[in-house]
């Protein structure tokens, strides 16, 4: 078992730290944010993620997991340093490597002899080479090991990965990185660093394209009176296609897909070509949000309608609203003169001009239209009659196709789904 330092204890870093500690490694999580470190040391998880609190408590109890703000000392004792730092979208569409660069420069001379530095968060293609140059030490190797963790199921995804990707120039470094994950039963793809970096972008862009494809199919179904749920059920049973990521909705969002698709488009442009399938997928995604706005506005004749929104996060089982289609839709509604009141199980505070209520029915007080934008399981079971009592109008747009059409129509609603 190894001594590991995880630099950056955000969502990817913390999942990796608690996961590796669970596998038996001794892990220190390092972060410059002292408030975050104090919370983690006390066993607190700063975001919603199933199973995280339990694994954090287990790691702390077994003394396999600790946290510090002293990054230099932490890396000096580690055989493996995993970089899990933020790489937001830069002005040119590419991921911005400046946080990673700054961290690497300040830690380079403190790294233990013969240690391996691993990039985990999504970095621009070519980063492993750039980091190797920045570290400028013959004894320290750099390996690319992209993460494929979904928010909401991150712990499960860490423990049961579909594959592990290791990109290294040096075979010994690759073998050492593989050793971190030996307890996991997963195929391991060992390749060069550039290929590993590209795998991440291509995987996320493919998934985003698949969802956009489903959203385009949904539109076709609306035009032809087919039912998208049956159509995609019939399509997804083809094992070459599969049902995963084939659900229509209000468009994809979150902290990864929008920026990773832009990064792939921008990478292709650097080499003088348009990555056409992805150009189409991004266009469909933008249209999808606009189409949901239109569906909502069509259900009312009020010039300044009141719209109640159930679901503000970019998907269920998270409290993350980064690049959430719900927020983009709410903002577009406000732009068109609507007043928007939202409810989400994990969101408490107002977001810009979006009022947030702590109760799903209170959010509908006087509303003309209800829009369901996130697939929280609990929304399925909310009472249509009670919603009708609270509302002024009788329109419901179910952008995740999770409500029972017959229940809502029975309560007097005009029900509009996606492709159904």
- State the residues that interact with ligand UDX by CB under 6 A: 147-151, 204, 207, 211, 245-247, 249, 252-257, 314-315
Q: Active site residue: 5, 84, 221, 256, which one?
A: 256
**Cβ-based nearer residue to ligand UDX, 148 or 415:** 148
**Cβ-based nearer residue to ligand UDX, 108 or 202:** 202
Shortest separation between residue 257's beta carbon and ligand UDX, angstroms: 5
Shortest separation between residue 154's beta carbon and ligand UDX, angstroms: 8
Q: Is 389 exposed, middle or buried (0-12, 13-18, 19+ CB in 10 A)?
A: exposed
CB 26 within 8 A of CB 4: yes
Quick check: helix, strand or coil at residue 137?
coil
**Cβ-based nearer residue to ligand UDX, 252 or 343:** 252
Shortest separation between residue 46's beta carbon and ligand UDX, angstroms: 17
Quickly list DSSP for 306-321.
Answer: EEEEE--SSSTT----
Helix axes 52-61, 11-22, angle to 10 degrees: 50
Shortest separation between residue 95's beta carbon and ligand UDX, angstroms: 13
The answer for residues whose C-beta is within 8 angstroms of residue 145's C-beta and 6 or more apart is: 82, 118, 119, 120, 164, 165, 166, 167, 177, 196
Which residue is closest to ligand UDX by CB?
256
Chain CA centroid to CA 3, Å: 28
d(CA 364, CA 361): 5
CB 155 within 8 A of CB 49: yes
**Cβ-based nearer residue to ligand UDX, 242 or 366:** 242
Based on its alpha-carbon atoms, the radius of gyration of the chain, rounded to whole angstroms, reads 23
Residue 118 phi/psi, 5-degree rounding, is -120, 125
**Cβ-based nearer residue to ligand UDX, 59 or 249:** 249
Q: Please indicate whether residue 84 is annotated as part of the active site.
A: no
Catalytic residue numbers, as ranges: 256
């Amino acid at each position: 078992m190894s001594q590991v330092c995880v630099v950056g204890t955000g969502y990817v870093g913390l999942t990796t730290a608690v996961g590796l500690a669970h596998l038996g490694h001794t892990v220190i999580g390092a972060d410059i944010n002292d408030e975050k470190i104090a919370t983690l040391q006390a066993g607190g998880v700063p975001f919603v993620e199933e199973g995280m609190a339990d694994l954090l408590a287990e790691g702390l109890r077994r003394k396999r997991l600790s946290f510090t703000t002293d990054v230099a000392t932490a890396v000096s004792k580690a055989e493996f340093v995993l970089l899990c730092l933020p790489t937001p979208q830069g002005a040119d569409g590419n991921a911005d490597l400046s946080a990673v660069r700054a961290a690497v420069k300040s830690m380079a001379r403190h790294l233990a002899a013969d240690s391996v530095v691993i990039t985990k968060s999504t970095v621009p293609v070519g980063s492993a080479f750039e980091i190797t140059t920045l570290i400028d030490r013959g004894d320290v190797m750099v390996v690319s090991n992209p993460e494929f963790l979904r928010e909401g199921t991150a712990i499960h995804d860490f423990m049961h990965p579909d594959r592990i990707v290791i990109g290294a120039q040096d075979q010994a470094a690759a073998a050492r990185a593989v050793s971190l994950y030996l307890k996991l039963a997963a195929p391991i793809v060992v390749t060069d660093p550039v290929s590993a970096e590209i795998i991440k972008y291509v995987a996320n862009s493919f998934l985003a394209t698949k969802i956009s494809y489903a959203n385009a199919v949904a539109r076709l179904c609306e035009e032809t009176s087919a039912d998208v749920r049956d159509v995609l059920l019939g399509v997804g049973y083809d094992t070459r296609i599969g049902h995963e990521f084939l659900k229509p909705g209000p468009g994809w969002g979150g902290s990864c897909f929008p920026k990773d698709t832009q990064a792939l488009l921008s990478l292709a442009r650097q080499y003088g070509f348009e990555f056409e399938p992805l150009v189409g997928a991004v266009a469909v995604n933008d249209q999808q949000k606009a189409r949901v706005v239109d569906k909502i506005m069509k259900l009312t004749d009020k010039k300044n309608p009141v719209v109640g929104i159930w679901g503000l996060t970019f998907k269920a089982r998270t409290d993350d609203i980064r690049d959430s289609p719900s927020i983009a839709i709410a903002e577009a509604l406000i732009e068109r003169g609507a007043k928007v009141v939202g409810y989400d199980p994990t969101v408490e505070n107002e977001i810009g001009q979006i009022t947030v209520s702590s109760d799903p029915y209170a959010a509908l007080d006087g509303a003309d239209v209800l829009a369901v934008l996130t697939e929280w399981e609990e929304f399925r079971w909310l009472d249509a009659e009670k919603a009708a009592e609270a509302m002024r109008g009788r329109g419901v747009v179910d952008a995740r196709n999770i409500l029972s059409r017959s229940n809502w129509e029975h309560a007097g609603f005009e029900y509009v789904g996606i492709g159904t």
